[in-house]
Amino acid sequence: MFGLIFAPLRLFVKIVTTILTIVVVYFAVTFVQIWLTGRTHSTSPAQAILVFGTAEDNGKPSHELRARLDEALAVYRAGRASWFAVTGGNRPGDKFTEAGVSATYLEAHGVPKARIIVGGGDDTWQNVRSVASQLKAHFFYNVITVTDPFHEYRAMANASAQGLYPVPSPVENSPTIKHSLWRFYLKETLAVGVGRLIGYGRLSSWTTANHISLPFGG
């Protein structure tokens, strides 16, 4: 009698437990993938270096942005790519864009202006979209993505979703990784986990519409 009464409850608990286990495993695997990608440095050549923007300081790169640009310059000087694509928009009240500041910095360090594609964007998806058509117009599909280690996986995933073929070159000495690193990795795990399920473009639209800020873009 009691077995028949509690059977539906046991079945419900089993289903819920199974679902929770699947969710935990899914996000745990996602975390490991993000962690490993942030420690992978490709040596493959490419057609362009895709630099993801981050905060600028009144016309000058912030310490975080400068670290990304210096990493990109090292890749460029190693002869692995001869073009740049820089991204990033601006915040309300800013006079400069992250992409514009990045382009100026690269020019000051010897990169010809004609070889810099300047984009924009307020999040990771928009960053890629702002330069993807220009890259493809030059028949550039193979790109080296430069960003912080915890952002590398999502940056590459967004690039892949928009028809590019990225390889990683994460910044090892970024000032960002010295502060609350676990928080960035957890947020990236959530963003990647959800983005893979619903699509990164849809995630971008949803976070933008709801004014939700994720680390280095939605």
Tens digits of residue pLDDT in 33-54: 999 999 999 999 999 999 999 9
pLDDT band at residue 60, thresholds of 50, 70 and 90? very high
Per residue in 96-152, pLDDT (tens digit) is: 999 999 999 999 999 999 999 999 999 999 999 999 999 999 999 999 999 999 999
Give the residue carrying structure tokens 């979209």. Answer: 129
Q: In sequence order, what E strands does the chain have?
A: 48-51, 56-57, 60-61, 84-86, 116-118, 142-146, 165-168
Give the residue carrying structure tokens 């915040």. Answer: 91
Supply 76's token pair: 């460029």
Name residues whose C-beta falls within 8 Å of residue 187's C-beta, 6 or more positions apart in sequence.
Answer: 214, 215
All domains in the chain, ordered by first residue: 48-209 (3.40.50)
DSSP strand pairing (142-146 vs 165-168): parallel
At residue 2, the pLDDT reads: 52
At residue 6, the pLDDT reads: 62
Over 90: is that where the pLDDT of 18 sits? yes
Per residue in 64-104, pLDDT (tens digit) is: 999 999 999 999 999 999 999 999 998 887 899 999 999 99
Count of other CB atoms within 10 angstroms of residue 106: 22
Nearest to 72 by CA among 174, 185, 170: 170
Residue bearing the bigger pLDDT, 180 or 75: 75
Residue bearing the bigger pLDDT, 4 or 33: 33
Name residues whose C-beta falls within 8 Å of residue 114's C-beta, 6 or more positions apart in sequence.
Answer: none
Tell me phi and psi for residue 50, to 5 degrees.
Answer: -100, 110
- Give mean pLDDT, residues 187-201: 96
The C-alpha atoms of residue 117 and residue 113 are separated, in whole angstroms, by 8
